[in-house]
Amino acid sequence: MILDAMKNVRDVMVVLYLMLIWKTVEGFKGYGWKASTGNEGAAYCLSWRLAVEANNVRAWRTVPTQCLRHVETYMVGGQYERDLELIMGQVSSFADEIVLSDDGLDAWIFDIDDTCISNLEYYKRKRYGCDPYDPMGFRAWALVAGCPAIPPVLGMFNKLVYQGFKVFLLTGRDEDTLGYSTIYNLHSQGFVGYERVILRRAENKGQCASDYKSGVRKKLVEEGYRLWGNVGDQWSDLQGDFSGNRTFKLPNPMYFVP
Q: In whole angstroms, give the CA distance from residue 239 to residue 84.
A: 20
Least distance between a second copy and beta carbon 202 (Å):
31
Between 177 and 188, CB nearer to a second copy: 188
Crossing angle of helices 79-97 and 68-76, in 10° steps, is: 50
Between 48 and 122, CB nearer to a second copy: 48
Least distance between a second copy and beta carbon 144 (Å):
22
Least distance between a second copy and beta carbon 160 (Å):
16
Measured in whole angstroms, the distance separating CA 93 from the mean position of its chain's CA atoms is 21
Least distance between a second copy and beta carbon 36 (Å):
8
Least distance between a second copy and beta carbon 51 (Å):
5
Residues near 38 by Cβ (< 8 Å), separated by ≥ 6? none
Phi and psi at 240, nearest 5°, equal 95, -160
Phi and psi at 196, nearest 5°, equal -155, 145
Between 24 and 56, CB nearer to a second copy: 56
Between 53 and 175, CB nearer to a second copy: 53
Crossing angle of helices 40-53 and 68-76, in 10° steps, is: 60
Least distance between a second copy and beta carbon 62 (Å):
16
**Footprint of a second copy (CB under 8 A):** 30-37, 43-44, 46-48, 50-51, 53-58, 77-79, 81-83, 85-87, 90, 151-152, 155, 246-249, 251
Between 8 and 47, CB nearer to a second copy: 47
Between 214 and 247, CB nearer to a second copy: 247
Least distance between a second copy and beta carbon 19 (Å):
21
Between 94 and 105, CB nearer to a second copy: 94
Measured in whole angstroms, the distance separating CA 72 from the mean position of its chain's CA atoms is 15
